[in-house]
Every structure is written in structure tokens, then in C-alpha cells.
Structure 1
Amino acid sequence: MIEPISYLAFVLAFVAAPVLVVAGALLVTKRWHRAQLFGAGLLVAVALTYTLPWDDYLIRSGVWEYGSTLVGRVGVVPYEELLFVAAQTVLTGLWTTLVVRPDGCGPSVTRRQRLGGVAAGLLVGVAGLALLSIPSSLYLGAILAWSAPVFALQWGFGWPVLVRARRSVVFALAVPTAYLWAVDRLAIGIGLWTFSAERTTGIALLGLPIEEALFFLVTNAFLVQGLVLLGWVVERDVLPSVADAIRDLPSLVD
């Protein structure tokens, strides 16, 4: 199959360009939150660091391969793949900043709740490790095992906060995930990347492998949950502390 567009051009057109649209909406509506914007930038570095070795492992394991001419690679991971990860992170991060208003309301998370959140994340990892032992579910198991530490950390830190903000979380998660599902399906359709029949379940939804659907759901959940929790901490702890320090300045000067 001859690709009508290169991988680099595809990422720029379908992932990077929407970043400019969402950024413009933020500027027009003035709905940005400094902590969330900072968090979105920080998450780019975290996402690249966490995803690169995982991508490398799956490519070397033959889970997928690329059909387009690539600019270059870090190990076996294309530069375009890293650009995709970074652009997705910024896109979902800015979208979350646009639609979620952070607040510090609600009771503190108890130790028991934290332990429950960590346990739930670890159960995801157990399921992933079990699936890794089956050749046809290698990709599916790798997603779950890879996501488990992040979910354990986030859910252990504040799953009640996420439940309390569930409407905002679901909306922030649903839109970029659905969009990236469509983008991924298009890329598969034009042959930018293909998947191993032996390393995947073969189950697809409207032509999109369930592994890919799960991947974008999981990675966007990382981003949305992380920014919601960051906003909660800043609103609850950081900003009140700063306000108290400012109020105390006159007495310190006296």
C-alpha cells in the first residue's frame, strides 16, 4: 500500500494542528489555570520518558510495524512516534484545562481510601501480567501492566476526588479519546502502521483494534486524572498557604 501522507505530515495535521485550535480557545475564553498549564507541560516530559521504553519493547516484540518512510528513530522508536506522544499530551492537557475548573473542595482522602486506590491499580497490573503470558494478548497485557503503576499512584493519591469530579473527568476524557480513536483508525486505514495477528486479539470495533482503543483511553486517563488531581492540590493546599503568607507579611515587616 502506498501511503498518501507521511507519518510526520499525518501527526502534524491531525494531532499537532488541533493543539493550536484548543490553545486558541483557551486564549479566547481565558479559562486557563496556571497549575494545569504547568502540569500539562510537565506531563510531556513524563509521558515521553515513561512511554519510550515501552514502545521500544513492543516494536522489538513485533506487535506493530510502520509502513511509511520515517525521519529517523531513537533505538527502534520513530521520531514521529515521540512527536505523536508529545502532541497528544499537550492536546489532552489543554483540553482538560479548558473544560475542567479545579477546586479544593471535599474531605481529605483517608488512609484506607488511599490503600484501596493502590490495590485497584495493582489489580490492573495483575490482569496485565496474566495476559502477557498469552501470545495473542501480548499487546493487551502490555497496556494493562504498563498502566498499573500510574493508576495505582493516581488512584491511591485521590480517587475520591476523581469520583467527585466524575462529570468533568468523563467529559475531559471522552472528547480527545474519541477524536484520537478516529485519527488512529484513519492511520491504520491508510497503512501508516500495521499490527501483528499473532500478538493481538484480532478483535476490532469499526476497524479499530481494541488494544488501540484501550491505549488511547488509558493514556488520556493518565493525563486527565493527573491534571484534575494537581488542580485539587493547588486549590486546596498551595493557594491558601500563599494567601496566608501574603496576609502575614505586614506583621513580619512590623
Structure 2
Amino acid sequence: MVELTYVGFHAVFVAPPLFVLASVAVNRTRPARPVVRAIPIVAILVMALAYTTPWDNYLIHRGVWWYGDGVVAGRLWLAPIEEYLFVLLQPIVATLWLGTIATAFEWPSERVEMRLRDRLLGVAAAAVVGVVGLAMLTRPATFYMGAILSWASPVLALQWAVGWRYLLARWRLTAIGTLGPAVYFSAADRIAIEYGIWTLADRYTTGLTIGGLPIEEGTFFLVTTLFVVQGLVLYPWVIERWR
């Protein structure tokens, strides 16, 4: 088997979709109403790095996963430098993908309102995710899944409280915008695990897989992509309401 490093992973699986989608964005001759703006993109990148870094390093410290010998270029705290780069590049790929497909979807023709009870319902739904996650943290075999769900809950609570009704009105864009990058990076992650770039601890995972991919990893890419897509879909709607 040919050795693949974490830098090589970026070169093979991250750089190509990034360049292709960026080229599509630059060469698009008839831009529709933009979903992607500079301000939300920068905000998402800053928040992604700030929110993910402590969580990621804690799980490495806990031994939930580790990296193969000689596959990382260097470390900052406990995480490889390439990991921080991935935290920044994954949202960019998701953003470019969303901008590419957004032209195929119509904006809701009717005004979507969020009343107080709607906001509370959004928070309650995210709280259920968090409670399930916290319960899973109490057992070693579900610890990683619990860490993902409990970590995701506050972000989901904020986004759903702001506009879950609007996200529901644009569910096709939100779903396809999320599933495209999530499935792609899950497949890439499966290959990275096979090549030993990183290894998940049996103690902290359920052992359940889909096509050889641990369900925890698929869940991680699903929720992190969902963060980005929901934030970008909500942004123009929130700005329009403020105006």
C-alpha cells in the first residue's frame, strides 16, 4: 500500500474539489441572487476554528483517536497542523458547493415568520440532541458519538432558534447542500482510516459502520457541514428581515 500522509490527504481529497468549485464560482457568467457573502464566510471560519479546537484537542488527549507514525508535518497543541487546515478548508468547500447549487433553487415566495414559540421549539429540539449526547458520554462505547452530539447541540440550538422555519422552507437546498460535502468527506475519511492517517479507538466507538466508515465519523461530517450550510442559508434571510 502506498503511504499517504495528512498533507497528501489534503492534496488528494481536499484540494481538487476546492479548486474545481472555486473555478466554477469564478467562471459563472450569470450569477443568481447570492447565497455566499464574504462576511458570513469569514465569521464561519473564525467560529469553526474557535469552537472546534478545544473539542478536537480534548478528544485527542482522551485517546478517542490518534495519528499514524510520520504522517503529520507537525503539531500545535495536540492536534496536527493539517487538522487546523482541514477545519478551515472543509467549510470553504461546503460554501463553494452551496453557492454552485443555489441557482437551481427558488427562494420562498411567502414571508417566513419566527414567533417566540417557534424559537423555543427550535431550542428544545436541539436540547434533545444535547441530552442524548450527554447520556452517551456516560458509556465508553458511545463516548465519541456523545461528544459529537453534545458539542453540536449549542450550535444547532442557535441556528434553529433563529430560523428553523426558514430552513424548512428551503429544505431541498439545505439537504443537498449538506449531503454533498458530507458524503464526499465521509468517503475520504474512510480511505484515510484505511491508510492509517488516523485511527479510532475501539473503546470509545460503537463499532457500527456504513461501508466501512464508523458511524461516528459520518455523523461528524454531517453535523459540521450542516452548521455551515444552515448558517449561509439563514444569513441573507436574517439580513433582509433586519432591513
TM-score normalised according to structure 2 size: 0.92
Please list every run of at least 4 consecutive aligned residues from structure 1 whose deviation after the TM superposition is greater than 6 angstroms.
Answer: none
Q: Specify whether residues 193 and 38 from structure 1 end up closer, same or farther in structure 2 by C-alpha distance, changes over 3 A only.
A: same
Distance 1:151 1:99 in 2: 23
Structure 2 residue corresponding to 1:132, chosen from 115, 131, 137: 137
In structure 1, runs of 5+ residues without a counterpart are 242-254
Any conservation in 2 of the 1:103–1:232 contact (CA below 8 Å)?
Answer: no
The offset of 1:35, in angstroms, is 5.1
After superposition, the C-alpha distances for 1:67-119 in whole angstroms (9 at most, x for unaligned) are 14222112101111111111101000111122225857523211110000011
Verify: 1:229 aligned to 2:228, yes or no: no
CA contact (8 A) 1:117 1:152 kept: yes
Query: In the aligned structure 1, how far is the partner of 2:168 from the partner of 2:241?
Result: 20
Cα deviation digits, residues 23-60 of structure 1 (max 9, x gap): 11112225372753431232111101100000011101
Q: Matched residue of 2:66: which SS?
A: strand
CA–CA distance in 1 between the matches of 2:35 and 2:212?
Answer: 39
Residue 197 and residue 173 in structure 1: after superposition, are their counterparts in 2 closer, same or farther (change >3 A)?
same
Structure 1 partner of 2:48: 47
Q: Distance in 2 between matches of 1:13 and 1:36?
A: 27
CA RMSD after TM alignment: 1.8
CA distance in 2, matches of 1:37, 1:171: 22
Conserved in 2, the CA contact under 8 Å of 1:132 and 1:141? yes
User: Could you say what secondary structure the match of 1:194 adopts?
Assistant: strand
1:124-164 alpha-carbon deviations (Å, 9 max, x no partner): 11100000000111100000000000000000110000000
Determine whether 1:118 maps to 2:123: yes
Stretch of structure 1 that moved more, 45-54 or 99-108: 99-108
Task: Please tell me whether Structure 1 or Structure 2 has the larger radius of gyration of its CA atoms.
Answer: 1
Mapped partners of 1:67, 1:9: distance in 2: 13
Q: Which residue of 2 aligns with 1:17?
A: 16
Give 2:27's aligned amino acid: V
Residue-pair matches, total: 237
Q: TM-score, normalised by structure 1?
A: 0.88
Q: CA 1:3 to 1:68, structure 2 compared with 1: closer, same or farther past 3 Å?
A: farther
Q: Give the corresponding residue for 1:26.
A: 25
Provide the residue aligned with 2:78 in structure 1: 76
Displacement of 1:211 in angstroms is 0.1
Match in the other structure for 1:216: 221
How far has the Cα of 1:204 moved from its partner? 0.6
Residues of 1 paired with 2:36 and 2:184: CA distance? 25
Whether the aligned pair in 2 keeps the contact of 1:125 and 1:144 (CA below 8 Å) is: yes
Contact 1:106–1:161 (Cα < 8 Å) also in 2: no
Give the structure 1 partner of residue 64 of structure 2. Answer: 63
Name the CA distance, whole Å, in 2 between partners of 1:156 and 1:106.
17
Q: Which amino acid aligns with 1:177?
A: A
8 A contact 1:143–1:215 mirrored in 2: yes
| SS of residue in 1 equivalent to 2:37 | helix
Q: Deviation per CA, 1:195-253, whole angstroms, max 9, x where unpaired?
A: 1010111111111000000000000000000100002123x236xx4xxxxxxxxxxxx
> Partners in 2 of 1:185 and 1:12 — Cα distance?
16
Deviation at 1:17, TM superposition (A): 3.0
Q: Percent identity?
A: 41
